[in-house]
Amino acid sequence: MENLDDPWMVREEDFPWRGTSEERFKFLLNYAVLAPSGHNTQPWLFKIAGDELELYADRTRGLAVLDPEDRELIMSCGAALFNLRIAMIHYGFVPATHTFPELDDPDLLAFVRFGPGREASVEEHRLFMAIKKRRTNRRPFEPRPIPEADLEAVQEAAAREGARLHVIRKRADRERLADLIAEGDRRQASDRHFRRELASWVHPGRSHSRDGIPGYALGRSGPGAYAEPLMIRTFDGGRGWAARDRQLAEGSPALLVLSTGADTPPAWLTAGQALERALLRARDLGLYASFLNQPVEVDALRAEVRKVIGGERQPQLVLRMGYGPSVRATPRRAVHEVLLRQRYH
């Protein structure tokens, strides 16, 4: 049975085994849209064409100041693509995926079909079950260390999708990365265009919006949640943001950088799929994560992050990982809101 209201409420047992390909895809998209995205913009669109699903980048939801090349937008779409793939595998189908199938349409990111049937592995089932448990957790993490075997498992998950997840272990490197995060905060907050863009995606706690960042995700409630967008737009809070994020970075059991060999749209789509596989593996191990991407969003600082990870690969995301309190899920648009009824141009 298709859930048209809240994808978080989708029930595993409602899969339409006797349904058409279209009905199956509509059901599976409930899992795809639970992927993370920058400012929870959910910049994806889907079109079902017979036995094929098309994934498009919705550039109307792009962040022109934060992400002018749509790098993070395409990574977000990659995360949604991975959720779709692992959901198909869970239900016994091998996804046949063709990325960037039409060079004259840069918005068309992938075709997906139902491939031959096979039984999913235990690990694949566990990744699927982690989709509804995954949260971006912005709260401070517990100081207890993460077992090395768990960190290696998360790294291996990213590698399976063609990216590399660097665990920043040396104290000097962690301090340097924390410095870059703080400097990124200061530079971004000093830009009023950046602040206005961010504020437009921050919603009060009682907002009925199905996208953006609700006040509770930022730890705000009551009048503070309603005042947050105005405060962001009006005041340069860079010093406060920098101090807060430096503390989060320094206090997190693990700081990680996701990298790719190239810095192209196909590499960004790969990075998004690798990110989501790693996040789901981490959640299955009881870990939470959140993003500290400021130094890869500022060109001058991104080059410095590259030095921290060795100078050869392209840093795409910075994240922190650890054990933390449970947090509420952020809202998602219903499947019917992201489905195209005619070919997207």
How does pLDDT run along the chain (345 residues), one tens digit per residue? 444 589 999 999 999 999 999 999 999 999 999 999 999 999 999 999 989 999 999 999 999 999 999 999 999 999 999 999 999 999 999 999 999 998 889 999 999 999 988 999 999 999 999 999 999 999 999 999 999 999 999 999 999 999 999 999 999 999 999 999 999 999 999 999 999 999 999 987 656 789 999 888 887 665 555 566 667 877 768 889 899 999 999 999 999 999 999 999 999 999 999 999 999 999 999 999 999 999 999 999 999 999 999 988 999 999 999 999 999 999 999 999 999 975 544
Q: Sign (positive/negative) of CA torsion 95, 211, 298, 178?
A: negative
**Whole-angstrom Cα distance, residue 57 to residue 344?**
10
pTM more than 0.85: yes
Do 325 and 300 meet the contact criterion of CB atoms below 8 Å apart? no
Of the options 3.40.630.30, 3.40.109.10, 3.30.420.40, 3.40.50.300, the CATH number for the domain spanning 148-190+236-322: 3.40.109.10
Instruction: Supply φ then ψ for residue 257, to 5 degrees.
Output: -125, 130
Class of domain 7-135+329-337: alpha beta
Q: Cα(101)–Cα(103) distance, rounded to whole angstroms?
A: 7
**Every domain range in the chain assigned CATH 3.40.109.10:** 7-135+329-337, 148-190+236-322
Residue 100: name the closest of 74, 120, 124, 122 by CA: 74
C-alpha–C-alpha distance, residues 158 and 147, integer Å: 18
Give the orientation angle of helix 21-32 with respect to helix 71-90, to 10 degrees. 120
Q: SS in 3 state form for 296-344? A: HHCHHHHHHHHHHCCCCCEEEEEEEEECCCCCCCCCCCCHHHCECCCCC
Strands 202-203 vs 213-214: parallel, antiparallel or unpaired: parallel
